[in-house]
Structure 1
Amino acid sequence: MSRIGKQPVKVPNEAKVSLAANTINLEGPKGKLSHSYHPDIKIEYDQQNRQIAVKRSLDEKYQKALHGLTRALIANMVVGVTKGFSKNLEIVGLGYNAKVQGKELLLSLGYTHPVHLAIPQGIKVDITNPTNPAKLTVSGADKQMVGQFSAVIRGKKPPEPYKGMGIKYEREVIRRKAGKAFTSGAA
């Protein structure tokens, strides 16, 4: 049996769970999430103990993988609707900055034009420091969407290895390269 899949998911009091045909819906203070799961997987919700149990019908390799995956996705949904997820990014570079205008993120990254990114539904972008180094916080209830939008932002100007300019995650370590070596003396 899957070590992860057999563990029940505890549901806090502020979250509401509803099950429909192969779909689980969770609602909490941070938002609403739903997930459609495979028909071979069965989900049971114990209202008295406030636990979600994930079970599988077969013991084949594919169902074992689905068992652990489904349980992990549901656990992430529970954390997402109650606490939420966030990623912190830093924009390092002279003249680089970030602004939020309505439902759009404007990034000035040294190009001849500003980079416009539409902020997806359910994602919130906070800017704590707009200039060098600019600090962004991407937050939301869906772990996958938070990570994906953070990766899209980072992909607009990944950090370069010589000066470290670009967009990086908060605790990301950039392996730096040595620049040109200067030798004095004529040949």
Structure 2
Amino acid sequence: VNEKKEEKTLSRIGRKPITLPSGVQVEVQYGGVKVTGPMGTLEQKYHPEVVVKVEDGVVLVERQSDRKFHHSLHGLTRSLIANAVTGVSEGFTRSLDLMGVGYRVVAAGDGITLNVGYSHPVEIHPGPGVTMEVEGANRIHIRGIDKQKVGQLAAQVRRARPPNAYKEKGIKYSDEVLHFKPGKAAARKA
């Protein structure tokens, strides 16, 4: 009975070791880690009540106690460090598609210009460490080593014209599955 209770208190994500790919180094500093790889360097801070160790090419994250607060920090810290390791070794990419008649995207310097049905074009510029590529007239690729920055910029682009559930127009993530609704007239006939 005690073994089952002990198993439940373990963080399933936090207890997984992070295997370092070749060419990636992790340096533990007070309150953070510095992850260096072929694509760049990232620094990730973590709570001082979490212990991070690097042993034989594996990063281990441990917590001080079984309190709920330490549980949440355990999995979070492990995920953030794993994302940094993936970022400096492979990088992250997020792709978006423009759907709609006349909707198009044009590369403009380091950013993009969106024509998505407004009376004015919408300009979006990436921050440092993130690049944007335009494929054709209706696909955007956002790349970088920091998963949070890539995701945040992709969300900003999508927010310029979110997908419409009725008209099949807007900006969507390439892997996003949309569920369209029938209009009032179609619903009344059925």
Q: TM-score, normalization: structure 1?
A: 0.88
Q: Which residue of 2 aligns with 1:20?
A: 29
Name the residue aligned to 1:8.
17
| Structure 1 segment 91-130 matched on structure 2, within 5 A | 91-130=98-137
Could you say which residue in structure 2 is the equivalent of 1:34?
43
Could you list the per-position Cα deviations for residues 7-34 of structure 1 after superposition, in whole angstroms to 9, with x for gaps in the alignment? 2111111112212111101111222211
SS at match of 1:4: coil
2:174 aligned to which of 170, 177, 182: 170
In structure 2, what is the equivalent of residue 139 of structure 1? 143
Going by fraction, where is helix more abundant, 1 or 2? 2
Separation (CA, whole Å) in 1 of partners of 2:153 and 2:97: 14
**1:93 maps to amino acid:** G
Shift of residue 173, structure 1, vs aligned partner: 2.4
How many aligned residue pairs are there?
A: 177
Contact 1:40/1:58, CA 8 A, preserved across alignment: no
Q: Is the 8 A contact 2:20 2:58 kept in 1?
A: yes
- Letter in structure 2 aligned against 1:9: I
Q: Which of 80, 83, 92 matches 1:76? A: 83
Which residue of structure 2 lines up, in the alignment, with residue 148 of structure 1?
Answer: 152
> 1:65 aligned to 2:66?
no
Detail structure 1 runs of 4+ shifted over 4 Å in the superposition: none
Structure 2 unaligned residues grouped into runs of 5+: 1-9
Letter in 2 for 1:125: M
What is aligned with 1:158?
162
Q: Could you tell me how far 1:174 is from its partner in structure 2?
A: 2.3
Distance of 1:77 and 1:171 partners within structure 2: 23
Pair 91,11 (structure 1): closer, same or farther in 2 beyond 3 Å: same
Contact 1:24 1:34 in 2 (8 A): yes
Question: Quick one: structure 1 residues 171 and 4, their matched pair in 2 at CA, closer, same or farther if it must change by over 3 Å?
Answer: closer
The 1:21–1:176 alpha-carbon spacing in structure 2 relative to 1, beyond 3 Å, is: same
Calculate the TM-score normalised by the size of structure 2. Answer: 0.87
Q: Provide the alpha-carbon RMSD of the alignment.
A: 1.5
Distance 1:179 1:18, change over 3 A: same
Give, in whole Å, the separation in 2 of the partners of 1:29 and 1:161: 42
On the 8 A contact 1:9/1:75 being kept in 2, the answer is yes
CA–CA distance in structure 2, aligned partners of residues 180 and 21 of structure 1: 60
| Secondary structure at 1:71 match in 2 | helix
Q: Percent identity?
A: 38
